[in-house]
Amino acid sequence: MVKLTFHGGVEEIGGNKILLEDQDTKIFLDFGMSFKRRGLYFEEFLSPRTANGMGDFLRMELIPDIPGIYREDLLEHIGRKPKEADIAGVILSHAHADHANYISFLHKDIPIYCGETCKYILDAVQEQSQRTLENEVIDYKKRPIFRSDYRKPPIKRTFRTFRTGKKLTIGPLEIEPIHVDHSVPGSYGLIIHTSQGPIIYSGDIRMHGLHADMTTDFIDAAKKSKPIAMITEGTRIDKEKSNESEKKVHSDSKKEISKCKHLSIVDFNFKDADRFTTFYNIAKELGKKLVISFRHACFLERYHQDKKLQTPNITDENILLLKPKRQTGTYIDGDYTEKYIKKRLQYSNIITAEDIAKKPTKYMVVLNFWYFTTLIDLQPKNSVYIHSLSEPFNEEMEISYERMRNWLNHFDLRFAQSHCSGHIHGSDLKELIQTINPKILYPIHTEHPGMFKKIPIKVQIVKEGKTYKL
Ligand SMILES: [Zn+2]
Ligand SMILES: [Zn+2]
């Protein structure tokens, strides 16, 4: 008997936590954080209390209450009896937080299966972020942390990495991960061969990036397997075909930057290695140096380890590292306490905002809104700011967006939006589903599951926590 239970990703974008059971074997497909649900109760200065361990997360239903999946230390902390792990593994489709981050709560004996590049990205995320309960995917510190425990090493999780085409065997399940195109490298769709037949899981997917051929590989293999069921993402099921593409981001952004006779500033998500490549290439083509942050360096160095990504090394002649102003404001070594900065202070390609301001036309600076105070030192004049991120889609984002616009106006920065989505649009998705032709479809990772009913395929609209037998 094969069963599916959806503990997240139901009528929301992300937060996927799908339990698949085949006889006595249980696995999870992703175990992500639900931004929507978290946002119902929490915001920047109102977060779940570390002091209450996983208690606040359970009580506010940010994680499902299931026995045999959570960390022993966290259960003990809230007065529950720790249990042995009852899950054979989590197959992580990709490194986005809405799929990965709540692995942080899982039992140490549950192995995590993910792509090799996905692991590199998780390592980079861990290196430059502060340890919190929601950010302990790679390893965790036993809670509660008493002062005497500060120096104790963290407990490492078991990761088993794969590349496309490799088959994983977990109990009666044989799982084939196949690369797909998405806005982060190391993204996979899955063909899960169960004792009742193959089940397809799309992960997050698109057709208009630089690697649409990878998605095509997935579609071909999924179709050939003659699946009994398919679990698909539907982020943009309500969107029609458009002319967006990564190539268009390149040409539009290049045009804007060419027009600029002063400093060029760009902002994009560094987890998106394709977007990095787009801006790196533009900088090279226009004879500018691309200035990135120490945080970005954590990612770039790992991308470079993956030869297939063909990204430059941190020592590349077209890349510079922006030294942030800290403590004394004099850029002395002693100003930096973060490990990820300290270990890179001796790099030869470090530059300060003041240096950049002397010859602004020579540089293209990657600068996120949260670091806009750097604009005060960069002193841009009639410059351009390329916003290569999605537009705001909720109230909180609107408020930040408004503030960002104020900064841009204050420094006479011309705003240009240039972005393409990480998700397949409705027309392509409908075609993809009909090509794969599963016997039954479970739409998740969407706010519009009802829209899938228009496709001439049997659709099961899922309810959170309900178990579906195949
Ligand atoms: Zn997602
Ligand atoms: Zn994603």
Integer Cα distance of 165 and 156 in angstroms: 27
CA of 12 to the centre of ligand 2 (A): 13
The two beta strands, 197-201 and 112-115, are unpaired
Place of tokens 């987890």: 271
CA of 205 to the centre of ligand 1 (A): 9
CA of 13 to the centre of ligand 1 (A): 6
Residue count of the chain, please give it. 470
Tokens of 228: 């009994």
Q: For residue 187, give the ligand nearest its CA.
A: 2
- The rounded mean pLDDT for the chain is 96
CA of 99 to the centre of ligand 2 (A): 7
From first to last of its 470 residues, the chain has per-residue pLDDT tens of 999 999 999 999 999 999 999 999 999 999 999 999 999 999 889 999 999 999 999 999 999 999 999 999 999 999 999 999 999 999 999 999 999 999 999 999 999 999 999 999 999 999 999 999 999 999 999 999 999 988 899 999 999 999 998 999 999 999 999 999 999 999 999 999 999 999 999 999 999 999 999 999 999 999 999 999 999 999 999 999 999 999 999 999 999 999 999 999 999 999 999 999 999 999 999 999 999 999 999 999 999 999 999 999 999 999 999 999 999 999 999 999 999 999 999 999 999 999 999 999 999 999 999 999 999 999 999 999 999 999 888 888 888 899 999 999 999 999 999 999 999 999 999 999 999 999 999 999 999 999 999 999 999 999 999 999 99
Integer Cα distance of 273 and 209 in angstroms: 11
Q: For residue 16, give the ligand nearest its CA.
A: 1
CA of 437 to the centre of ligand 2 (A): 23
Q: For residue 15, give the ligand nearest its CA.
A: 1
CA of 93 to the centre of ligand 2 (A): 9
Q: For residue 422, give the ligand nearest its CA.
A: 2
The two beta strands, 441-444 and 229-233, are parallel
Q: For residue 206, give the ligand nearest its CA.
A: 2
SS3 38: helix
CA of 15 to the centre of ligand 1 (A): 7
Q: For residue 180, give the ligand nearest its CA.
A: 2
Q: For residue 96, give the ligand nearest its CA.
A: 2
SS3 368: coil
Q: For residue 94, give the ligand nearest its CA.
A: 2
CA-CA distances (angstroms) from residue 354 to 289, 323, 329, 330, 376? 15, 10, 12, 11, 10
CA of 96 to the centre of ligand 1 (A): 6
CA 430 to chain centre: 24
CA of 9 to the centre of ligand 1 (A): 9
Task: Check residue 202 and report its DSSP letter.
Answer: -
Phi/psi for 319 (5° steps) reads -115, 135
CA-CA distances (angstroms) from residue 232 to 64, 72, 97? 21, 33, 18
* Strand order across the beta sheet in which 414-417 lies: 350-351, 319-322, 289-292, 363-366, 264-267, 384-387, 414-417
Integer Cα distance of 159 and 90 in angstroms: 10
CA of 16 to the centre of ligand 1 (A): 8
CA of 94 to the centre of ligand 2 (A): 7
How confident is the model at residue 392, as a pLDDT?
84
CA of 420 to the centre of ligand 2 (A): 13
Q: For residue 205, give the ligand nearest its CA.
A: 2
CA of 96 to the centre of ligand 2 (A): 5
Interhelix angle for 273-285 vs 246-259, to 10°?
40
Amino acid at 437: N
CA of 319 to the centre of ligand 1 (A): 30
CA of 71 to the centre of ligand 1 (A): 24
CA of 447 to the centre of ligand 1 (A): 12
CA of 188 to the centre of ligand 2 (A): 10
CA of 187 to the centre of ligand 2 (A): 8
